[in-house]
A and B are shown apart, each in its own frame.
Chain A
Amino acid sequence: MHAQAAAASAEPQLEVRALHLWRGEKHLLRGVSFAVRPGELLQIVGPNGVGKTSLLRCVAGLLPVESGEILWRNRLLEHSRDEYHQQLAYLAHNNALKAELTALENLRFSASLRRRVGQTDLREVLARLQIPSCADLPVRAMSAGQKRRVALARILLSHAPLWILDEPITNLDVAGVALFEECMAEHLSAGGLILTAAHQQLLRGRSAVRTLELR
């Protein structure tokens, strides 16, 4: 019944093989390889500037692969880009919110790009992240932590199996971190995949959580 048990035997859905990346003259990633199975969280750790963000952007398809292979469900990324992106929710450093629009307007737009959503779905997710009062507030009037929660609400609304999260818990308070870890655990239990870069250990003590250290 537990997805974690099932995950161990499942085929990896996301595979990265011998990925090399140069930024200008700097050889940033030297042959990074990993695989993520359904129900698994892979956390990338390493000092600042080691290339965590670049790796995530590369896997998301935002940076061209210079050498190496990225496979989603056994298909090369280059060959199934749109399909892959429909299964992907990506959270960057910035929240990708429009300051002039309210939380609801922001979420309605980004969720509608993928599927039909109702007003109640949006309000439910905001309530889930404990910011229901921010629904009709312009994003510019929110605190940094509230903005991050709205950005996380976008991830939850995407219904995508693969989450790529770059420092997801920046600016969150203790309660916020606990809340988001709960959301991540739920996503994993439902068979989702998470690839993340974070300085703090996420979901400590849970099985099917692995770390990959970049040096």
Chain B
Amino acid sequence: MSQIVAHEAPGLGRLAWLVMQRDLRLAWRRWDQVIQPLLFFAIVTMLFPLAISPALDELRRIAPGVLWVAAMLASLLALESLFRQDVEDGSMEQWVLSGQPLSVLLLAKTAAHWLLAGLPLVLMAPILGAALGMPQSVWPVLATTLALGTGALSVLGAIGAALTVSVRRGSVLLALLVLPIEAPVLIFGARAVDLAMQGESVAGPLNLLAAMLLLFLSLGPFAMAAAMRISVES
């Protein structure tokens, strides 16, 4: 059988590009679902001045924590639907059967997901920070910690999402599973912003966040693929 011509097979880079292209196009066609986490992030952050006090001095003190908790919950909200539709409509089965490395496909999907659900949070955070009285000098640190942090959260969350995708009402399970592991990211992220506001060096927590992101990026795809195989097999 000479129908299969091996040299025509796509390389890893092209595979990743194909998946990202597909997911970004899908997101463009259902943008109303895509902006939900961003809206959630903005609304939660804006509720704090109403509930606590509109005094900027007080808000400034809690701003790093508020922004980070809101960003983390928004990212969790977005993760729930990361793989669900693809598993339900059978696309994921086809990925498993494509003969291509599932880890690469899933990592590309997670990267597209970060572009849609993580990056907007990073870009939006300084504006919300300003609303909570955060000085402009802290914006770069805030955006950097959130960029590293939401990246780490996306990869970790994707492993959890792959594990729980075939469980009915898996979203609660996903939160229980993922939140404890995500706690260090929250601690170091919020701490870095806090330090920056006090004018101190932020190198320590930033390096730790970057290290965590690299660790998750290197091992995460294999865990995702293994978890997804289990979910599809059931």
Contact = CB atoms under 8 A, between A and B. Distances in A.
Interface of A: 38, 60-64, 82-88, 90, 92-101, 105, 109-110, 112-116, 138, 159-161, 190-192
Interface stretch (B4-12, B136-144, B159-167, B200-208): B4-12
B18 A159 contact: no
Interface residues of B, number: 29
Nearest to A63: B233
A115 B18 CA distance: 12
A21 B168 CA distance: 24
Contacts of B198: none
Contacts of A115: 5, 8-10
B10 A98 contact: no
Nearest to A190: B3
Contacts of A60: 97
B15 A113 contact: yes
Contacts of A116: 8, 10
B8 to A, nearest CB: 4
Given A94-B89, A96-B91, A190-B3, A113 B18 contact: yes
16 contacts: A60-B97, A61-B97, A82-B99, A85-B99, A88-B97, A92-B90, A95-B89, A96-B90, A98-B91, A100-B26, A113-B18, A113-B98, A113-B100, A114-B98, A160-B3, A161-B3
Interface string B82-102: 000000011101111111110
B25 A101 contact: yes
Contacts of B172: none
Nearest to B101: A82
A97 B93 contact: no
Given A85-B97, A86-B99, A192-B3, 8 more contacts: A64-B233, A85-B99, A95-B90, A96-B94, A97-B91, A100-B26, A112-B10, A112-B18
B232 A62 contact: yes
Contact of A97 (B14, B89, B99): B89
B169 interface: no
Contacts of B93: 62, 90, 92, 96
Contact of A159 (B3, B15, B25): B3
B52 interface: no
A109 B97 contact: no
Contacts of A62: 93, 96-97, 232-233
Contacts of A90: 93-94, 97
Contacts of B96: 62
B22 interface: yes
**Top-4 shortest CB links A-B:** A86-B99, A85-B99, A96-B90, A94-B90
A131 to B, nearest CB: 19
A160 B4 contact: yes
A160 B90 CA distance: 19
Interface in B62-119: 89-91, 93-101
A83 B10 contact: no
Contacts of B25: 101, 105
Contacts of A88: 97, 99
Given A82-B99, A115-B8, A98 B90 contact: no
A115 to B, nearest CB: 4
Nearest to B105: A113
